[in-house]
């Protein structure tokens, strides 16, 4: 039976995934196993018989779809937790519009240390997320913003001046709770990469 799975991020906030199927049940531990479905398992039109399956959780396509959904849910949860920690504002410029904010990874999620945990995240607006990802600027382990030399030397333009250059050596806005603040070790790793790319 196809189901809708509501993955809770925090109280009263859910991410919906469908269709999903229960493929395993372990009453002893009160747990069950969910596999995500995809359109390949849905009827082509409403007049078709509703036939799903057979659903084999070991099938490579099924494993792939389920892994993709799980990753998406983790990313959505990461975003929620990071935006919460930073009270829904950019750590660099304090922009407060949720639609314009992202949860940036300090160490990329393709690397082993790049876990989707709040201390590996920064709430950044779209401009500062792109600038951070592309090493226009970084944040050092003392939480100071460093802008790349060639950007600092670029002739003035209002957006560059106000949006990036002005931030050089400013302190970022931090979560109130110590344990949610960016990890200095991860910022140090980022700083090393920033320097190795310096022009």
Cα–Cα dist 4/36, whole Å: 10
Residues 18-47 that bind Zn ion (CB under 5 A): none
Pick the closer one to Zn ion by CB: 38 or 140: 140
- Return the residue of 79, 128, 148, 190 that touches Zn ion, per CB under 5 A: 128
Q: Is 104 in the site for Zn ion (CB under 5 A)?
A: no
Token pair 């910022």: residue: 187
Q: CA nearest 108: which of 122, 94, 126, 88?
A: 122
Cα–Cα distance, 116 to 97 (Å, whole number): 22
Rounded distance between C-alpha atoms, residue 102 and residue 9, angstroms:
16
Comparing C-alpha atoms, which of 31, 37, 33, 26 is closest to residue 2? Answer: 37
Q: Smallest gap, in angstroms, from Cβ of residue 77 to Zn ion?
A: 22
For the record, the structure tokens of 118 come out as 């709040």
Contact call for residue 93 and Zn ion (CB under 5 A):
yes
Interface stretch with Zn ion, choices 80-88, 89-97, 111-119, 176-184 (CB under 5 A): 89-97
Candidate list 76, 77, 82, 92; residue touching Zn ion; CB under 5 A: 92
How many chain residues touch Zn ion (CB under 5 A)?
6
Piece of 6-14, 80-88, 91-99, 176-184 that binds Zn ion (CB under 5 A): 91-99
The verdict on 90 binding Zn ion (CB under 5 A) reads yes
Query: Rounded CA gap, 67 and 38, in Å?
Result: 12
Contact positions vs Zn ion (CB under 5 A): 90, 92-93, 95, 125, 128
């Amino acid at each position: 039976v196809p189901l809708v799975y509501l993955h809770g991020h925090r109280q009263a906030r859910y991410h919906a995934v469908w269709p999903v199927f229960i493929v395993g049940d372990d009453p002893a531990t009160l747990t069950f196993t969910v596999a995500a479905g995809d359109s390949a398992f849905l009827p082509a039109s409403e007049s078709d018989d509703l036939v799903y399956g057979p659903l084999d959780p070991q099938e490579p396509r099924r494993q792939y779809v389920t892994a993709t959904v799980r990753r998406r849910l983790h990313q959505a949860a990461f975003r929620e937790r990071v935006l919460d920690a930073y009270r829904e504002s950019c750590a660099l410029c304090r922009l407060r519009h949720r639609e314009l904010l992202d949860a940036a990874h300090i160490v990329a999620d393709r690397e082993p240390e790049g876990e989707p945990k709040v201390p590996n995240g920064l709430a950044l607006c779209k401009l500062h997320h792109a600038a951070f990802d592309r090493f226009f600027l970084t944040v050092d382990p003392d939480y100071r913003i460093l802008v790349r030399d060639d950007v600092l030397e670029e002739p003035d333009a209002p957006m560059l001046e106000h949006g990036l250059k002005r931030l050089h050596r400013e302190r970022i806005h931090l979560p109130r709770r110590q344990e949610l603040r960016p990890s200095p070790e991860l910022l140090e790793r980022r700083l090393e990469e920033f320097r190795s790319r310096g022009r």
